[in-house]
Amino acid sequence: MHLIQEIATAMMSPSKGILAADESQHTMQKRFALIGLEQNSENDRRYRNMLFTTAGIEHYLSGIILHDETIHQNSDNKIPFATLLSNLGILPGIKVDQGLTSLESSPDEKVSIGLEGLADRLEEYYSLGARFTKWRSVISIGDDLPTQDALKKNADVLAEYAEVAQSKKMVPIVEPEVLFDGKHTLARSGEVLRDTLQTLYKALAEHEVTLNAMILKTSMALPGKKSDTPLDPSAIAEETIAALRDTVPADVAGVVFLSGGQMAKQATSNLNAIAKLGVQSWPITFSYSRAIEEPVIATWRGDEANRIAAQNVLLQRLEDNVAARNGIYVPK
């Protein structure tokens, strides 16, 4: 266990974050549609190649989460992407859940799948260079949601995944994403976040998951997208940290925030407000996807002539979010 504890510590290195470049083909299709680019394996590879060959990303990133497709691909120079990242001192990770399915007891809610064959897949990913893993579940907020059954079933799946990952000498990132669709208040979001994490850590204890060798990837407490509540970073930070302090044990290796559909600068400002609340029991950083990559894709547009400009946008987004992690972000 000692080795993966060291990896978990390295993932939470000061002044660095984790890039979630693990979008599915379906998600890439939606993102590429916005720039009129066809989604296919080669365009996915070209895009990830542009990201990973950006000079200087190792100064801002401790790790990058890859998709199954990506960990099997090579750079333009025929170097496996996982090897390219390792050579930069960036830990390669891998998304290992296989999506969501409707919950039998509550069809409006989802439970994540992919436990079957997980141990074998992890052995392959380890041989390809991955040293940490990620598994995402989603929790919906509604009039009568989430149900306790949804909270427990997703927590049990996440805990079983984490147990298997650690048995294969890989650090698990455990991600129970509380969605902020709907009209709920900030307080209601904080309440659901508490319930979600409380249920999760009970399940992790039952599966004897070693907490200082795992990382929590969590939502911020956010008012629903359709609510009338303004997005106040200070209020979001207070509600988020209060929920985490109530539920996350002190010996967890780290807490990383997902952007969860927030606009790019919004996610950065909220992270900055969280950091300004001071040092917590666990190190905190970002693990964003859309909030970093969306402006990059909009600049790149699939055109090699835009490569340098897109890479400069990536570096700026990384610099801004590292500043936010340290509580010193100033919007430009």
Instruction: Indicate which residues carry an active-site annotation.
Output: 175, 217
Q: How far apart are CA 19 and CA 93, in angstroms?
A: 10
Q: How far apart are CA 153 and CA 176, in angstroms?
A: 11
Q: How far apart are CA 122 and CA 191, in angstroms?
A: 34
